[in-house]
Amino acid sequence: ITQEALDAGITAFDIINEALAPGMKIVGDNFEAATIYLPQIMMSAKAMKAAMEILEPILAEEKGEDEGVGMAVTFVQEGDIHDIGHRLVTTMLGANGFEILDLGTDIPNEDVVEAIAKNKGKKMLLVGSALMTTSMLGQKDVVRLLEEENLRDSVKIMFGGAPVTDAWIDECGADGTAENAAEAARVALELMA
């Protein structure tokens, strides 16, 4: 269907923003309302990934050199392997012009800081995810380590995941959070502006 949309002249950006992202929002809303369950979430994520495999090369072509909004370093906090939300947010950031450096799941804080240090000088956004309260606590340590290494001012920070609230963002010293992948892309672009 994604290829058919492209063949019909619909842009990759419009396919993402007018079809895929709203579709994933519906999936997320239905999951929250308990009208669908994890198998449907996983099927939806698989479909989104298949569509993005077609669209990402086109988006990269359309974006051109040095036109991106910055680099997004994405990861799932150490002690956590839940990655559906992480993958959706990473995909949406890429679709919105970010160069992506996806560190993966269960990533130690030191590895996160090292990735930021290696890319110092680039316009950067750090996006961390945690589904469990126990792993969420490590987000505060990431901010502290970035401050200790004098890297905090070189990066905007977003954290997300089920236990993450606006109050937590304030407490740990991050810059933003979002309820879903589409909102995360919007907040990310605002932070980078």
pLDDT digits (tens, 9 = 90+) for 85-124: 888 888 778 767 788 999 999 999 999 999 999 999 999 9
- Which residues have C-beta within 8 Å of that of residue 27, sequence separation ≥ 6? 36, 40, 41, 44
pLDDT of residue 66: 47
Computed over its alpha carbons, how large is the radius of gyration of the chain? 16
Residue scoring higher pLDDT (183 or 59):
183
pLDDT value at position 149?
Answer: 96
Q: Which of 7-16, 73-82, 88-97 has the lowest mean pLDDT?
A: 88-97
Q: Is the pLDDT of residue 31 over 60?
A: yes
Lowest mean pLDDT among 1-5, 103-107, 140-144, 160-164: 160-164
Backbone φ and ψ of 11, nearest 5°: -70, 155
Q: Is the pLDDT of residue 68 over 80?
A: no
Q: Do 146 and 174 form a contact (C-beta atoms < 8 A)?
A: no
Confidence category of residue 177, pLDDT binned at 50, 70, 90? very high
Instruction: Identify the H or E element spanning 113.
Output: helix 109-118
> What pLDDT, on the 0 to 100 scale, is given for residue 55?
86
What average pLDDT does the segment 75-88 reach? 88
Q: Is the dihedral of CA 35, 54, 88, 105 positive or negative?
A: positive
pLDDT at 135 over 60: yes
